[in-house]
Amino acid sequence: MKFLSSLFVWLELVGTGLWVGGMVILGAVVAPTVFNTVKPVEMAGDAMSLVFHRFNGAWVFVCIALVCVGFVGKWATTRAQGTRMKIEAALITVLVLSGLYIGAILGPRMQTLRQITLTDRSNGAAVAEFDRKHKRSVQLFSVNILLGLGVLWLNAGVPGGRDRS
């Protein structure tokens, strides 16, 4: 049973690490590089739109599956199911729901708005809505990074980070 529990912890950590790492790389490395080197800005937008579509597609869903399977398996095989596990469950729930919202709802809507603004630059309502959605996606991306780091910290063996019961 100890091996199975360790396997589930490993699955959860790999999924969370890949997810958080992917978000950090996209936000801190890829986006600034693309927007600072690719000109015109519309081409950079096309490139980043494709990158985010791919990331929010298969990558995030694989990470969500790993995190959820890992956590549920760990929950089922671990004796210590105290406060730390409840906090971790809450963090993972918000992480997954916001990730699904970004990937399944916000991302496609932003892509539609982006296409509208590219074909009709005078459409101020579409531009304003795109800007609001983009700001919300950046905020949710930041929240997801913090939530993911919280999940990793809870599993890192940091003093106070593991249930001792």
Q: Which domain holds residue 139?
A: 2-154
Amino acid 80: pLDDT: 67
Tokens coding 122: 């005078």
Calculate mean pLDDT across residues 68-92: 89
Please give the model's pTM, rounded to 2 decimal places: 0.83
Tokens coding 127: 């531009």
Q: Which of 24-33, 88-97, 152-161 has the highest mean pLDDT?
A: 88-97
Calculate mean pLDDT across residues 91-107: 91
Amino acid 88: pLDDT: 93
pLDDT tens-digit profile of 23-60? 999 888 888 888 888 888 778 888 888 888 887 777 88
Amino acid present at 17 = G
Q: How many CB atoms lie within 10 A of CB 66?
A: 20
Query: Is there a domain that residue 43 lies in?
Result: yes
Number of domains in the chain: 1
Tokens coding 103: 């990937």
Query: Is there a domain that residue 162 lies in?
Result: no
Query: Is there a domain that residue 31 lies in?
Result: yes
Query: Is there a domain that residue 100 lies in?
Result: yes
pLDDT band of residue 160 (cuts 50, 70, 90) is very low
Query: Is there a domain that residue 161 lies in?
Result: no
Q: How many CB atoms lie within 10 A of CB 128?
A: 12
Query: Is there a domain that residue 160 lies in?
Result: no
Query: Is there a domain that residue 56 lies in?
Result: yes
**Does position 5 have pLDDT exceeding 80, yes or no?**
yes
Query: Is there a domain that residue 163 lies in?
Result: no
Q: Find the DSSP H helices in 26-123.
A: 31-37, 41-54, 60-77, 83-100, 107-119
